[in-house]
Structure 1
């Protein structure tokens, strides 16, 4: 919203509003926001020049979500800790170096501190039993507070692009942790650099061989363009070109995603990698990928404020048993391939899966439903000694995905073997979960 929104707020025209966004170079917190104390639930103050919040912020007694990214704070405001209903806190790229124990609200569920200057976190973070999502990529952390081991509800943690030389053992034992990003730390840096420097990993495709067309989409780490690739044999092929933005994302850095994509290589259930872009006039990095047609679509949408760590499926989503079996089989096969190459995905979600319903080919023969796994933004070249424990997190994520597919299946009773597999993947003891090689065999049933 713009300055006009601030004017409307000051004129009393927004009374009763439950959501408010102000982005107009604010130097101080507008006291008129307190006129919404009885209704305001979501407040977005991102993109201003704030360096403090009022001590009586708790007057916004219904406030559940507060975003203040891109401001000029040096510490996470202590006023947050007195907001009894505050569940989601987002201060991305806000120059924060200190996180006082007093700044943590009692009902904290989702904490975003990506791209700051934080070196340590308080032990008091372990006193947030509802914490499910913790996003810390792009800081200066070398360790986590041991008290965080008490946050057994944690499901998603982002630690990429920090200074970790090791992960705390308790982290990989959390019973519900399914999504972990940890690339771009010293413990993965050597392998990432080796992969990026290996010119033989995938073919090099020159910028001059590409005719770049319309923008197909934009993700956190880059732009996807339609392109025509004039191959060395003279044939022109329709492809997709991903040009990396070059900045930090909530999952990590583009160079880590590049390394993961190169390690992943090719597989029938992965979005095909044709080669690595070289010779861009601005020096940008990119990947040339198989272009999928309009029949392919995302299996689900990303989590919402309310769902926190769970994907959101379109209303009326329904699959028959054969479709569920095939989608599960494809994703499991792709994951088995990645794990065999020492790569953990870290973000195995339905929103990172493209799928296509069963179709008839040109001869009238039926082609089954298919799935393609993509998005390596949170993937990591895992150190050998950590691979079993990290792979178990991907297995838990697969169990969640399998549960969602079965919940949207019109014939779930016809898939008892997949229901049993889901339970095995969801075991709270990570060591008791099956490996993807066995999962893939069970999905093929």
Structure 2
């Protein structure tokens, strides 16, 4: 496994150990013990050493932040923390797929996959029944993945800046998400906002700016979420 970062000019030692410059990228066990956080952001890493993850497991780390690196997939041995993690941040990497074993991270409450290369999510992600916040913004989704509709605890879904064309507001789609209170869909390619979306009165923050639909008009959008939902309800066929 290759690690690239600022100041990492010396080669890896023989025998698999990390040299001192690599070691300096990662928080020590005392920091992890005190914070329960493994934070390796903006370090240009392409993976995580097993020994770092082993230490994180020993110190009961429940938050991993890998924002702004060069990951093309989830770190190979990250599953070592699957029973501990409540928050996982993988934003601003080059990840093109999420493995099916994501279902093992059953305690996750926050998952940030923004600014990657994703166009789909595995159905196994529906197993994250404690997930409250999901950020898939700035990816390549053309539809909201079906697995999202089964996330019964999800309260906040951020999906702006994708290529989403349609919204499923039926009882098999967003209508099934009874705890959803925030839905961010700005800057997609949504051509029509379904009137049924107006029935989702549990939504308190709805953002639809920057799409291609003509209705609701900008004047209605500017009036806020309650006005948009009320307008949509008037367009539901009798």
Q: Same fold (TM over 0.5)?
A: yes
**SS of corresponding position for 2:98:** coil
CA distance in 2, matches of 1:85, 1:156: 21
2:205 counterpart (156, 167, 173) = 156
Per-residue CA distance 1:126-155 (angstroms, 9 max, x = gap): 100000000000001122344434432110
TM-score by length of 2: 0.67
- Structure 2: where are the runs of 5+ without partners? 1-40, 232-238
Aligned partner (choices 52, 56, 61) of residue 14 of structure 1:
56
Over alpha carbons, which structure has the higher Rg?
1
Q: What CA deviation, in whole Å up to 9, does each residue of 1:87-134 have, x standing for no partner?
A: 111011112112232333221110000101000123311100000000
* TM-score, structure 1 normalization: 0.37
State the secondary structure of the residue aligned to 1:157.
strand
Aligned length: 180
Question: Any conservation in 2 of the 1:117–1:139 contact (CA below 8 Å)?
Answer: yes
Q: Distance in 2 between matches of 1:392 and 1:51?
A: 33
**Which residue of structure 1 aligns with residue 223 of structure 2?**
390
Pair 25,151 (structure 1): closer, same or farther in 2 beyond 3 Å: same
Q: Does residue 66 of the first structure (1) align with residue 108 of the second (2)? A: no
Alpha-carbon RMSD across the aligned residues, in angstroms, is 2.8
Aligned residue number for residue 89 of structure 1: 134
Q: Which has the higher helix share?
A: 1
Pair 1:38-2:83 in alignment: yes
TM alignment of 1:255-294, pairs within 5 A: none
1:28 aligns with 2:77: no
Instruction: Give the superposition deviation at 1:163.
Output: 1.2
Instruction: List gaps (5 residues or longer) in structure 1.
Output: 168-186, 189-381, 395-428, 431-445
Paired position in structure 2 for 1:262: none
Q: In the alignment, is the contact (CA less than 8 A) between 1:127 and 1:150 conserved in 2?
A: no
* Residue of structure 2 aligned with 1:117, choices 156, 160, 163: 163
Q: How does 1:212-223 map to 2 (within 5 A)?
A: none
Shift of 1:10: 4.5
Question: Pick from 39, 56, 65: which aligns with 2:101?
Answer: 56
Residue 128 of structure 1 pairs with residue 174 of structure 2: no
Q: More strand per residue: 1 or 2? A: 1
- Note if contact 1:115-1:138 (Cα within 8 Å) is conserved in structure 2: yes
